[in-house]
Amino acid sequence: MVDRLTSPRFLRAVLPAASFAILLIAIFYLKPRTMSYFGLNLMLQYTVPIALATIAQMFIITVNDLDLSIGPFVGLTACIGATWLADTPLLGILALAGCVAAYAALGALIHWRNLPSIVVTLGMSFVWLGIAVLILPTPGGTAPGWVKWLMGVKTPVVPFPIVATVVIGLVVHLLLMRSSYGAVLRGAGGNPRAIGRAGWSLLKTKMVMFGAAGFFGVLSGLSLIGLTSAADAHIADRYTLYAIAGVILGGGEFVGGRVSPIGAVIGAMTLTLTGSFLTFLKISPDWQIGAQGGILIIVLALRALINRREGLV
């Protein structure tokens, strides 16, 4: 029993949840009043868009790629949501569907020409930003009513952001970790050649994963304007790094198809909490990003330690 509890695999699995719990306890200790429905709601309200962006990034990482454009992409979909989707819903829906299709096409391009995804998505991040600025040159617009309503739902007992995040994690877990095609998708990250040799189309797996990332990027943008009720092309620029950090904090690996949807949403929650935690510590906003990086490094160093121990066994 003790062996199992100290085994590297178990430790690695609980690390995301443990870091979240420790952070939460620290916050409760600093500000006991946050230990309430209202307090949690306030601290975690931005978890939903970050969790959705993190899931989008996780899909890309599953097939051994990296998306450096998810932040500007979320910004673009937010701009579309706050303008076209609110004014002429049909045009808005078409534009958002086009965004998802564009993502799938990027996946196809990356597979077909065997391009490094980092380069392609870095370039695309400027394209997304440019389109977003064209659509909404100055901050503004209005979120559609139903989006605002959805993001403002008051769930009983447990605040909405927590419920929504848990639902997102579970749904993606079901799709990616439990479905039979999900096994093929993850296998395409673990050993692409084996998947190809078993007769599956690697082009299709790439397109599905990039398309899914685009879809969750759209959801992230919409949920974000549901909270802010207006949009700005730069509204989600930071999400690119948040999303990568969330996946890695949640136990995912950059290569090899080893990802965890549940871990990823926990990672996103942890990232959201670090902001509040640092504010409660009265660290000036100038230092917060650096301090957030520090927390990330500590958690990742812990995981590296666990992995090293595993290497010794």
Task: Report, in Å, the least distance between residue 31 CB and other proteins.
Answer: 40
CA distance 226 to 313: 49
Task: Report, in Å, the least distance between residue 113 CB and other proteins.
Answer: 19
CA distance 272 to 51: 9
Task: Report, in Å, the least distance between residue 182 CB and other proteins.
Answer: 9
Residues that bind other proteins (CB under 8 A): 9, 178, 180-181, 183-184, 186-187, 189-191, 193-200, 256-258
CA distance 221 to 236: 8
Residue 61: phi, psi to the nearest 5? -65, -30
CA distance 297 to 299: 6
| 188 vs 236 by CB, closer to other proteins | 188
| 113 vs 197 by CB, closer to other proteins | 197
| 234 vs 258 by CB, closer to other proteins | 258
C-alpha dist (Å) from residue 194 to 60, 156, 201, 202, 273 = 19, 48, 11, 10, 40
Between 47-62 and 261-280, two packed helices, what is the crossing angle to 10 degrees? 140
Task: Report, in Å, the least distance between residue 62 CB and other proteins.
Answer: 9
| 2 vs 313 by CB, closer to other proteins | 313
Task: Report, in Å, the least distance between residue 297 CB and other proteins.
Answer: 25
| 139 vs 182 by CB, closer to other proteins | 182
| C-beta of residue 235 within 8 angstroms of C-beta of residue 241 | no
263: Cα separation from own chain's centroid: 11
